[in-house]
């Protein structure tokens, strides 16, 4: 098994980092010698005139990671029961472009939230992050943020988005903090100047893992740049692929800590691995148990954002109060939710389960409906969520449930096979007329993926010349979610897998 530091996949074999092996050899400069007759000013002028234009050392590349939904086990998971979370095909995309050797800046740009900020590489607190007592390496397991490192970053976060509202500034500073903590931990003072540009098709703040998806993208990109990942490639052994995704997952968890303080680790794990996981935490003094379901099938899903603000803390408190009043009864409901989760896990792992077979889908859908009914009994549904069930379930289109804390937020609907396109469009129009936002997506797809270099084949004339290069301007100007998916999406927005993207795929042993 490769240890992950012996180089990248052959497509990435030319990767090297500016300032490690690369340095100016003087060939692009005047020699500065004029038999002693030239002044130092003239010499400097000649140096500037004779300097060749610098070129980037590495091609642009992209990283992508999915969002997630909780499929079974909400609220019961707070009381030590199991939950199943799965990836959705809504994704974040990170374009990494390397600047010329003469530049000494790093820029983070996230146009979806109107964030852009540039740091001078030479002014960052490398001395603190590189100190022997503080330095972390790519293979380290980081389970908490170092207060001294967090403190050292603060002056470099203080001037971010000064013209924004307090709420917007908090979001921008949290995003920048997660990036900067990873960058200063994994990069070095000799790292090349870069621009990290993010676009996301995942609704932000809706409980579907947008921040974790971005954290996974950033972690994978930085690990690729320091050559600590191998692959992905089709012949990669599963054991090696597991090592690579776990390395990404560990650092994505660090990014999540920067934003959420004490995250569960579910979101980043699902976004990294893809497919689904079973999550359970029976003792809050110990780490949770997270079991990947590598063979989780891809299922057709309608994600509906109610656009109703929710408070996870308020919904959890509501259930806690109900439980304190009716402990035995609520305990029975929690046990039932756990049985639904375990039944779903067993069903999906059955030898004869077929995600394209109506009977298999019906059994999963019925478990989703039961789970929603139990959550509704706990008081965490909402009229807007029940309206989705009315339009989807009662019309015979599929099976729906809330996902996450409830009280608003999002619902997920497993769609029945054979529903005509006309009916699907009619449903989407009805929901949008009533103020919902809909996403036709797939449950249980791939996790983190890489496009190296940032060149795609689209079945156009450009393919004959190697494909279409994704440049920064095209990426920034792609209109909305559909435009991003059409330009760089792993499926091109039309289903199927697009040539160029590669994934660390792991199957059960």
C-alpha torsion sign, points 369, 370, 371, 373 = positive
Active site (annotated) includes residue 267: yes
Can you tell me the distance from the alpha carbon of 386 to that of 400, in angstroms, rounded to the nearest whole number?
Answer: 9
Question: CA separation (Å) from 334 to 70, 131, 377, 419?
Answer: 16, 48, 11, 34
Quick count: other Cβ atoms within 10 Å of Cβ 261? 8
Can you tell me the distance from the alpha carbon of 452 to that of 467, in angstroms, rounded to the nearest whole number?
Answer: 12
The two beta strands, 83-98 and 276-280, are antiparallel
CB 92 within 8 A of CB 212: no
Helix (H, G, I), strand (E, B) or coil at 280: strand
Q: Which residues contact 392 (CB under 8 A, 6 or more apart)?
A: 302, 398, 399, 400, 413, 427
Q: Is the peptide bond before 453 cis (omega within 30 degrees of 0)?
A: yes
Phi first, then psi, for residue 112 (nearest 5°) are -60, -25
Question: CA separation (Å) from 102 to 19, 24, 29, 105, 166?
Answer: 11, 10, 13, 10, 36
Cα angle for residues 182, 184, 188 (degrees, 5° grid): 125
C-alpha torsion sign, points 205, 211, 213, 217 = positive
Question: CA separation (Å) from 50 to 24, 28, 37, 87, 311?
Answer: 14, 7, 19, 53, 61
Can you tell me the distance from the alpha carbon of 340 to that of 82, in angstroms, rounded to the nearest whole number?
Answer: 10
Which tokens is 394 given? Answer: 């009662």
Angle between helices 210-225 and 266-273 (to 10 degrees): 60
Cα angle for residues 454, 468, 501 (degrees, 5° grid): 45
Q: Which helix (H) or strand (E) holds 405?
A: none
| Catalytic residue selected from 267, 305, 338, 446 | 267
Question: Where does residue 339 rank: exposed (0-12), middle (13-18), buried (19+ CB within 10 A)?
Answer: middle
416-449 in b/e burial notation, b at 16+ Cβ within 10 A? beeeeeeeeeebbeebeeeebebbebbbbbbbbb
The two beta strands, 502-503 and 449-451, are antiparallel
Can you tell me the distance from the alpha carbon of 219 to that of 225, in angstroms, rounded to the nearest whole number?
Answer: 10
Phi first, then psi, for residue 459 (nearest 5°) are 75, 25
Residues labelled catalytic: 267
């Amino acid at each position: 098994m490769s240890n992950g530091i012996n180089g990248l996949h052959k497509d990435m074999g030319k990767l090297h980092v500016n300032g490690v092996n690369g340095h100016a050899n003087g060939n692009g400069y005047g020699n500065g010698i004029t038999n002693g007759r030239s002044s130092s000013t003239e010499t400097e002028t000649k140096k500037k005139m004779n300097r060749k234009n610098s070129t980037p050392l590495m091609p642009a590349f992209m990283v992508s990671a999915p969002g997630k939904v909780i499929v079974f086990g909400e609220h019961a998971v707070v009381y030590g029961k199991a939950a199943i979370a799965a990836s959705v095909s809504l994704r974040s995309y990170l374009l990494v472009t390397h600047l010329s050797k003469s530049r000494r800046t790093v820029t983070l740009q996230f146009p979806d939230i109107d964030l852009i900020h540039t740091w001078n590489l030479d002014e960052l607190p490398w001395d603190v992050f590189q100190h022997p007592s503080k330095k972390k390496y790519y293979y380290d397991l980081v389970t908490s943020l170092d207060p001294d490192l967090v403190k050292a970053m603060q002056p470099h976060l203080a001037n971010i988005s000064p013209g924004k509202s307090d709420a917007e500034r908090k979001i921008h500073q949290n995003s920048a903090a997660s990036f900067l903590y990873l960058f200063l931990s994994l990069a070095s003072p000799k790292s090349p100047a870069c621009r990290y540009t993010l676009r996301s098709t995942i609704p932000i703040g809706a409980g579907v893992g947008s921040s974790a998806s971005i954290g996974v993208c950033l972690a994978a990109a930085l690990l690729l740049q320091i050559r600590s990942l191998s692959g992905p490639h089709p012949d990669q052994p599963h054991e090696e692929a597991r090592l690579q995704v776990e390395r990404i997952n560990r650092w994505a968890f660090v990014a999540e800590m920067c934003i959420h303080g004490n995250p569960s680790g579910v979101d980043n794990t699902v976004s990294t691995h893809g497919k689904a996981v079973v999550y359970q935490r029976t003792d809050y003094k110990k780490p949770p148990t997270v079991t990947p379901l590598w063979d989780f099938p891809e299922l057709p899903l309608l994600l509906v954002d109610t656009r109703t603000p929710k408070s996870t803390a308020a919904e959890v408190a509501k259930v806690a109060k109900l439980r304190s009043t009716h402990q035995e009864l609520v305990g029975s409901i929690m046990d039932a939710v756990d049985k639904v989760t375990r039944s779903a896990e067993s069903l999906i792992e059955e030898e004869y389960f077929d995600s394209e077979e109506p009977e298999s889908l019906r059994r999963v859908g019925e478990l989703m409906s039961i789970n929603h009914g139990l959550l509704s009994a706990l008081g965490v549904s909402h009229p807007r969520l029940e309206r989705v069930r009315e339009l989807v379930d009662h019309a015979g289109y599929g099976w729906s449930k809330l996902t996450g804390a409830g009280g608003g937020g999002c619902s997920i609907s497993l769609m029945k096979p054979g529903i005509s396109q006309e009916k699907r469009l009619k449903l989407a129009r009805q929901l949008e007329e009533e103020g919902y936002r809909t996403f036709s997506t797939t449950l249980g797809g791939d996790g983190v993926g890489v496009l190296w270099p940032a060149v795609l084949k689209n079945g156009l004339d450009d393919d004959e010349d190697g494909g279409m290069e994704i440049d920064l301007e095209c990426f920034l100007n792609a209109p909305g979610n559909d435009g991003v998916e059409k330009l760089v999406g792993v499926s091109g927005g039309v289903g199927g897998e697009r040539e160029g993207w590669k994934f660390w795929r792991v199957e059960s042993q």
